[in-house]
Amino acid sequence: MGRQNQIRCRLLQLQGVFIFLVSAAVFPVLVRSSLFAPLGKPTEWFTSKEGGYKLAVRRWEPSKSLSPGAEEGDGKLKGPRGTVILQHGGGFHSGYFDAFAKVLANAGWQCVAMDAIGHGYSQGPGGMAHLNRMSHATTDLERLINRERKRVGEQLPVFVFAESMGALIALPLGLRRRKDRVYRSPVDGFIIACPALKFHKETVPPLAGRMILHLLGQVIPNTSPPGVDLESSFNSAFGDLRWAEAARKDVRVLKGPPSLRVVSEAMRTAGWLRKNFSKITAPILVLQAARDTRIDPEGARELYRQVGSRDKKMVEYGEASHQLLQDNEAASRRVAADVVAWLNEDEIPSLN
């Protein structure tokens, strides 16, 4: 029996390596086939708890694979390894996950993505990429997670991948306090990419200006804020300028500054999260572009250092840009392969 178990373990390891290599090979083909354009109008909808808005949902079904613990010929039902919920960043929509989600699906993971309230194809309270409270988007995300758990079964893991401002929507789920006063997460782990936890000085005004922004955000929430510059870093957020061009042509992508309320909510939520990193205990993979021009990479480093998770890993990409999934082909392929490896509990190869 011992020898048989060793053989089975070795086969599972080889299966993981195979999926890793297939994912790395498939990504560039999928990117080229997408012609640097996001996925179009979704066909599935979800209702927001706040305001009853229709929220756009996209779904990528996995290739047939073994469920966790199943082995060839043992009679167990084949199905997805689990579910990865994808949360986009501020001003964008989930159509930009298409190539990445297909890689995860080819590795056996079901992917589900929702345009946050006021973003992309989703309805909202008014104004492009506008929301009244960051917590409203977090509540919608949690409800989607709960729905997907019921759909695929409680025995399968659910992870959240969140990029940029999406981290401000997703990470509060790691701070859900239960009746026993213990913080628990409704997901089995987080994958956080270039989180908007700290901002470059050139992007946001100084302290006095931020205090004024918070006040104005309550009075004239839909107005564009002075002193917040995102336009100058739009192109440099992409490692491949063909993606920048596609995003500029996308009428559902915000090119300029977000609303006063969104800026205020982002800074408030980021500050609150930084004070509570140590209370987040779910497994976490932190991905960060060293050349990030949109956010301060130190925010991701602080998250990794201070988070209370025992199972934590950080990968920093020296030549990548903020939009890790819309970077040059090699960088985006590497990010996708690293995520698949972490999800499959394989070792992520060193960048050195």
Categorize the per-residue pLDDT at 76 as very low, low, confident or very high, splitting at 50, 70 and 90.
very low
Residues with Cβ within 8 Å of residue 64, at least 6 apart in sequence: 78, 79, 108
For residue 348, is it within any domain? no
Higher-confidence residue of 71 and 125: namely 125
Return mean pLDDT, the chain.
Answer: 83
* pLDDT tens digits for range 110-152: 999 999 999 999 999 988 889 999 999 999 999 999 999 998 8
Q: How many domains does the chain have?
A: 1
Of residues 144, 135, 147, the one with CA closest to residue 115: 144
Higher-confidence residue of 190 and 200: namely 190
For residue 155, is it within any domain? yes
What's the one-letter identity of residue 238? F
Tell me what the mean pLDDT of segment 229-240 comes to: 85
- Does the structure show a pLDDT above 90 at 231? no
> Residue 329, Cβ neighbours under 10 Å: how many?
13
**How confident is the model at residue 81, as a pLDDT?**
92
Of residues 42, 26, 31, the one with CA closest to residue 113: 42
User: How many whole angstroms separate alpha carbon 193 and alpha carbon 203?
Assistant: 19
* pLDDT tens digits for range 311-335: 999 999 998 999 999 999 999 999 9
Of residues 81, 114, 124, the one with CA closest to residue 258: 124
What's the one-letter identity of residue 300? A
User: How many whole angstroms separate alpha carbon 157 and alpha carbon 68?
Assistant: 9
**How confident is the model at residue 233, as a pLDDT?**
85
Higher-confidence residue of 310 and 217: namely 310
Strands 183-184 and 158-163: unpaired
User: How many whole angstroms separate alpha carbon 298 and alpha carbon 194?
Assistant: 10
**How confident is the model at residue 7, as a pLDDT?**
47
For residue 303, is it within any domain? yes
Tell me which of 181-185, 232-236, 334-338 is least confident: 181-185
* CATH value at residue 72: 3.40.50.1820
**Which residue segment(s) compose the domain that 41 sits in?**
2-343
**How confident is the model at residue 232, as a pLDDT?**
78
Percent of the chain with pLDDT strictly greater than 90: 59
DSSP string, 137-190: HHHHHHHHHHHHHHHH-TTS-EEEEEETTHHHHHGGGGGEE-TTS-EE-SSSEE
For residue 203, is it within any domain? yes
Categorize the per-residue pLDDT at 340 as very low, low, confident or very high, splitting at 50, 70 and 90.
very high
For residue 101, is it within any domain? yes
User: How many whole angstroms separate alpha carbon 247 and alpha carbon 231?
Assistant: 12
User: How many whole angstroms separate alpha carbon 204 and alpha carbon 7?
Assistant: 56
* pLDDT tens digits for range 30-62: 444 455 667 778 889 999 998 999 999 999 998
CB 37 within 8 A of CB 342: no
